[in-house]
Structure 1
Amino acid sequence: MIDQTRLWDAQAAAEYDTPGEGMFAPEVLGPTVATLAELAAGGPALELAIGTGRVAVPLREAGVEVTGIELSPAMIARLREKADAERIPVVQGDMATARAGEGFALAYLVFNTIANLLTQEEQVACFRSAARQLAPGGCFVIELWVPQLRSLAPGHGGTVEVSEPGRLLVDTYDTLAQQVVSHHLRFDPAVDGARGARIARTPHRYVWPAELDLMAQLAGFTLEARWADWDRTEFTADSRSHVSVYRLPTMDR
């Protein structure tokens, strides 16, 4: 069993935030926050794996009450530099089992984080935990990439996802176990050879949209919407990611 707290340690937390760039870019965060605020519809929200508050902090600034669950103490400490416990309460624990309360209008998991749960059982438990903490009629939103198995050349088990000065990202697949390991290689391109290179590896369990929908059904959800991104672009067979909105039934159903 992999200790996820060792993966998301102080160094990872310190390097996680990239203000104004990447997943912190306004064109990424703006639609994310706007969509989540709309789905919360004035009610409180629960972020599973809240991390350093990339989404939670601007969502709270938009007027949505946000509570978080986070496994990594280092990530929580980084979040606390931005918002105190009164403004954004956080329960330390596993997103598949930890409880932060009941009656939330919205629960959400962004940026592929459900894949950090490395077994199907854990991923199903995450859906069921979210359902227990939502109010009737509440929704659970998941942002997740679509496995790029079509990119695998015959006889090869990996793909190069990013190749740019100073950074390589290679994903290696175990298609029998439905596992992928992301290898993040960072280096100074001005340095000759491999000196100064640093590598980090993060394991994931990839999930097809259809399997995700079945997990949702097991927890009592129905699929309400699926988009290719937070701008609500149409989801197609060629989409590389999706934002899926699942809804619990209301009391009178």
Structure 2
Amino acid sequence: MKAFDSPSAWDKMEAYDSTPWAAADDTEEACAFLAKIAEGGPALELGVGTGRVALPLTRSGVAVTGIESSPKMLEQLRAKPGGAELDVVLGDFADVPVEGEFSLVYCVFNTFLLLLTQDDQLRCFQKAADRLKPGGAFVLQTLVLSADHYGHEEWTETMHVGADEVVLLASVHDAAEQRVNRQQIVLTESGPRFFPMSFRYAWPSELDLMARMAGLTREERRTGWDEKPFYYPGYVTVYRKTA
């Protein structure tokens, strides 16, 4: 379904960062972790979006380059303080269309899963590895479906309840393709709004195999940006290029 293959959901959001049910709230933790991994070297963000992570990471002293496929998200980034100066390439991050070498390549908030085929995800691993310096790290923040969802072909759930809006998620699951097509439905007094999107989840062992095929080795996997050990459904993985 082509409506789910495009970044139309993000293009419809006029103020992504101030949309409470859309934006992540782990920016400070993510930046602290990524700055430590980067060790002062340059970093590349895949799917930089509105610069939620890239801009504060730059202010911490890490030179960040971004790749973004949505012109609307890029407009929101450029409107922020420091956004006009951030080096961003408009393009498909599966191809990693930038030059140079980086100490860190990273992709946060499940953005990697917006690559909707295994081939695209593997290509991204390989291209990211090509851009890493020896000893550099590729960091992914991803998820897999919970046991409650995996056994179902479809489900609907409440994502957000506010004083003047309710957000519902209506999802259809293709287990063979590991793909979820989802309609994010925002109900307000002025009527409903629809934000279609799709993602392809990858199992942790599958990501590890992609990394090995790209010449990377898993260094650690944890639940989030803190020291908690890995547990489903969301997690952060660090892959390392041989020094």
TM-score, structure 1 normalization: 0.86
State how far apart, in whole Å, the 1-side matches of 2:65 and 2:211 are: 22
2:104 to 73, 88, 106: 106
State how far apart, in whole Å, the 2-side matches of 1:113 and 1:161 are: 21
Superposed CA RMSD in Å reads 2.2
1:164 alignment partner in structure 2: 161
- Shift, 1:6, TM fit: 3.6
Structure 1 counterpart SS, 2:215: coil
- Shift, 1:228, TM fit: 0.3
1:152 alignment partner in structure 2: 149
1:214 to 192, 206, 209: 209
Sort the Cα spacing of 1:152 and 1:35 in 2 relative to 1 into closer, same or farther, 3 A. closer
2:181 alignment partner in structure 1: 181
Q: Is the 8 A contact 1:179 1:205 kept in 2?
A: yes
State how far apart, in whole Å, the 1-side matches of 2:45 and 2:67 are: 6
Q: Determine which structure has greater relative contact order: mean sequence separation of CA pairs < 8 Å that are 6+ residues apart, divided by chain length.
A: 2
Is the radius of gyration larger for structure 1 or structure 2? 1
Query: Which has the higher mean CA deviation after the structures are superposed, 58-67 or 195-204?
Result: 195-204
Query: Which has the higher mean CA deviation after the structures are superposed, 169-178 or 88-97?
Result: 169-178
Sort the Cα spacing of 1:156 and 1:119 in 2 relative to 1 into closer, same or farther, 3 A. closer
2:222 alignment partner in structure 1: 227
Counterpart check, 1:52 vs 2:54: no
Q: Is the 8 A contact 1:185 1:197 kept in 2?
A: yes
Between Structure 1 and Structure 2, which shows a larger proportion of strand residues?
Answer: 2
State how far apart, in whole Å, the 1-side matches of 2:158 and 2:19 are: 22
**Unpaired segments ≥5 residues, structure 2:** none
1:200 alignment partner in structure 2: 195
Alignment of 1:24-43 (within 5 A): 24-25=24-25, 28-43=26-41
Give the residue type in structure 1 aligned to 2:178.
Q
Structure 2 counterpart SS, 1:102: coil
Q: Is the 8 A contact 1:147 1:208 kept in 2?
A: no
State how far apart, in whole Å, the 2-side matches of 1:206 and 1:75 are: 23
1:4 alignment partner in structure 2: 6
- Shift, 1:155, TM fit: 6.1
Once the two structures are superposed, residues 119-162 of structure 1 have per-residue CA deviations (whole angstroms, 9 ceiling, x without a partner) of: 000000000111111111100000001222x2138665325262
Structure 1 counterpart SS, 2:122: helix
Give the residue type in structure 2 aligned to 1:112.
N
**Unpaired segments ≥5 residues, structure 1:** none
Structure 1 counterpart SS, 2:99: coil
Sort the Cα spacing of 1:151 and 1:84 in 2 relative to 1 into closer, same or farther, 3 A. closer
Give the residue type in structure 1 aligned to 2:172.
T
1:77 alignment partner in structure 2: 75
Structure 2 counterpart SS, 1:4: coil
